[in-house]
Every structure is written in C-alpha cells, then in structure tokens.
C-alpha cells in the first residue's frame, strides 16, 4: 500500500524522512515550514512536493500528515492545521503523548516515532531504524504499520507511557554518551594531545557493552573502588568545577550500583 503524505516541519527528521518515504514508493505532496525557504530545502530533494508556509491543508490530496517538529511546537500546530476529512495526523515525538493531538481537526491520530538520532550531515539507512507506533484506532494503526514496514523491518507498537521511558533511556544511551565523548575530546585538546588515540577505546567500549551487557562491561577506577585514582582525577579536573562534579556524581553512581 502506497500513501500520499504531507510533512509539517523542515528539521533533521523531515530532511531524512521525506526522501526515504519517496524512495519507498509513497508520494510526498507538501512540506510545511513557517519559513518557506526551509520547506524548499526539502522539496528541492523530492519529486513533486510543494513547499507551504500556511497551515490550510483542506485541499491537500494527502491522507497522512506527519508532524516532524520539536516537541514544544506540536500542540499549536496540531490545533492550527486545517485538514481534509478522513485525514490521519501523526507526530514523530519520543516523549509527547497521543492525546496531545486530540483537539486537532484530524479524523484519526497516531504516533510514528523513529528511534534514532538524526543529523542532517550524516546519511541514514532507515532499515536500521526502529519505529514505535501508537493509535487508538485499529485501522489507523494498521496503516501506520504498513507505512513503517515500507521503511524498516523493526516495528513496535508502544503505548505513550512506555515510549516516554524508552525516550529517557535513549537520552542516556545516545545524547549523554555523545556528550561524554565531547568532554573527553575537550580534555585531550586542552592538554594538547591527539584525540585519535582514544577512538579505539570508545569503539571497543560500545561494542563490548552491546555484546555482553553494560553491567558486565563496566571497568574503571569507580567499579574497582580505587579511591586514590578517583581523587587524583578529581584534583586534575579542578580547573572546571562543573566537570569535577560530573566526574564525582557519575563515579559515585557506578559505585552505588
């Protein structure tokens, strides 16, 4: 089954999702952004989609309307968008509930959450992306399953409360881990040493954690309760009170667990 789809939003998710939908055989009819130039950056990569800077979709040929915007923008857009009869309105948020779409003009609502980190500069293979779906309407849910399966074999039906927990876990596993790597890079740059030498350690750590489990893969002075090294590291980080406190809190949490 192929769908006609309109996308509301022109951020990183829309940038990757729009061409992936076309490549899967669906038709992207419109891309909306308040700044039409941002919409055009995406429609220029598509076959025949039109850029829009207004929320009147009453004459749209699309059946599915995807809100691919930041979480804080979802309620206002859902309330303001004018949709044709029989339309399905879905959002791509990991944390916002289904009922946030309840006051929209859509006939049916759902969630279409791709569990992945999106960066415009990095190409993404959607076959490796899990999709978390939700809808209170069974027919809508089946359509979302068909849409998701056209992109990825990894499909999960997940209720809002569970999806929020998954999103929090994803922040720890992805966003926080990436920030730790950024801190490591800054520490080494400050010391004037080459960050390249630590990359094999990062790769091995992540690979080992996924293979044998993070609990079994944990190493370092905190798990060994090597208080002398912990104090030495803490003293080294005295140039930044914030980094020293991050180091202390994480080390303590490792020991507590």
| Tally of domains in the chain | 2
Q: Are residues 8 and 99 in the same domain?
A: yes
Question: Can you tell me the distance from the alpha carbon of 152 to that of 154, in angstroms, rounded to the nearest whole number?
Answer: 5
Statement to judge: residues 185 and 87 lie in one domain: no
Give the pLDDT confidence of 228-252 residue by residue, as tens digits.
Answer: 999 999 999 999 999 999 999 999 9
194 and 234 assigned to the same domain: yes
pLDDT at 1: 84
Structural contact between residues 52 and 36, judged by C-beta atoms closer than 8 angstroms: yes
Neighbours of 79 (CB within 10 A): 14
CA distances, 237 to each of 142, 183, 231 (Å): 53, 12, 10
Is the pLDDT confidence value at 223 over 90? yes
Q: Is the confidence at residue 137, as pLDDT, over 90?
A: yes
Q: What is the mean pLDDT of residues 137-149?
A: 98
Half-sphere exposure of 158 (CA within 13 A, CB side): 26
27-57 residue pLDDT tens: 999 999 999 999 999 999 999 999 999 999 9
Range of the structural domain that residue 205 is part of: 163-256
- Tell me, yes or no, whether 137 and 27 share the same domain: yes
Residues 223 and 97 both lie in one domain: no
What is the chain's mean pLDDT, rounded?
97
Backbone angles phi, psi at 215, to 5 degrees: -60, -45
The last residue of a domain, from among 141, 158, 175: 158
- Same domain for 13 and 109: yes
Residue 207 has pLDDT above 90, yes or no: yes
What's the rounded mean pLDDT across residues 87-115? 97
Which CATH number goes with the domain that contains 177? 1.10.1040.20
Same domain, 199 and 174: yes
Same structural domain for residues 144 and 195? no
Instruction: Give the number of other Cβ atoms within 10 Å of residue 224's Cβ.
Output: 13
**For the residues 207-219, what does the mean pLDDT come to?**
97
Question: 124 is written with which tokens?
Answer: 């993404």
Same domain, 124 and 187: no
Tell me: do 25 and 148 sit in the same domain: yes
Asked whether residue 58 falls in the same domain as residue 87, the answer is yes
What secondary structure, in 3-state letters, does the chain show?
Answer: CCCEEEEECCCHHHHHHHHHHHHCCCEEEEEECCCHHHHHHHHCCCCCCEEECCCECCCCCCCEEEECCCHHHHHHHHHHCECCCCCEEEECCCCCCHHHHCCCCCCEEEEEEECCCCCCCCCCCHHHCCEEEECCCHHHHHHHHHHHHCCCCCEEECCHHHHHHHHHHHHHHHHHHHHHHHHHHHHHHHHCCCHHHHHHHHHHHHHHHHHHCHHHHCCCCCCCCCHHHHHHHHHHHHHCHHHHHHHHHHHHHHHHC
Residue 128 and residue 201 share a domain: no
Q: Which of 137, 158, 179 is the last residue of a domain?
A: 158
Distance CA 50, CA 42 (A): 10
For residue 227, CA distances in Å to 7, 141, 224, 234, 245 come to 54, 53, 9, 10, 15
Average pLDDT over residues 89-112: 97
The stretch 200-226 carries a mean pLDDT of 97
Spatial CA neighbour of 18 closest among 35, 6, 1? 6
Q: What is the CATH number of the domain that holds 44?
A: 3.40.50.720
Domain end: 115, 139, 158, which one? 158
């Amino acid at each position: 089954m192929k769908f006609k789809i309109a996308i509301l939003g022109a951020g990183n998710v829309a940038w990757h999702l729009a061409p992936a939908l076309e490549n899967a055989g669906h038709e992207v009819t419109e891309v909306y952004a308040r700044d039409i130039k941002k919409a055009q950056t995406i429609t220029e990569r598509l076959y025949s989609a039109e850029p829009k800077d207004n929320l009147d979709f009453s004459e749209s040929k699309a059946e599915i309307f995807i809100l691919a915007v930041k979480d804080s923008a979802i309620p206002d857009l859902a309330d303001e968008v004018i949709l044709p009869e029989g339309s399905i309105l879905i959002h791509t948020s990991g944390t916002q509930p289904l009922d946030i779409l309840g006051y929209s003009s859509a006939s049916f609502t759902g969630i279409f959450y791709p569990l992945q980190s999106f960066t415009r500069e990095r190409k993404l293979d959607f076959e490796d992306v899990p999709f978390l779906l939700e809808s209170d309407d069974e027919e809508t849910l089946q359509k979302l399953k068909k849409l998701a399966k056209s992109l990825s074999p990894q499909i999960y039906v997940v209720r809002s409360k569970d999806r929020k927990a998954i999103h929090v876990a994803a922040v720890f596993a992805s966003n926080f881990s990436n920030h730790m790597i950024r801190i490591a890079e800054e520490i080494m740059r400050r010391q004037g040493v080459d960050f390249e030498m630590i990359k094999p350690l990062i790769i091995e750590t992540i690979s080992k954690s996924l293979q044998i489990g993070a609990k079994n893969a944990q190493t370092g002075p905190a798990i060994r309760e090597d208080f002398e090294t912990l104090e030495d590291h803490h003293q080294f980080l005295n140039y930044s009170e914030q980094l020293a406190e991050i180091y202390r809190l994480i080390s303590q949490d490792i020991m507590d667990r």
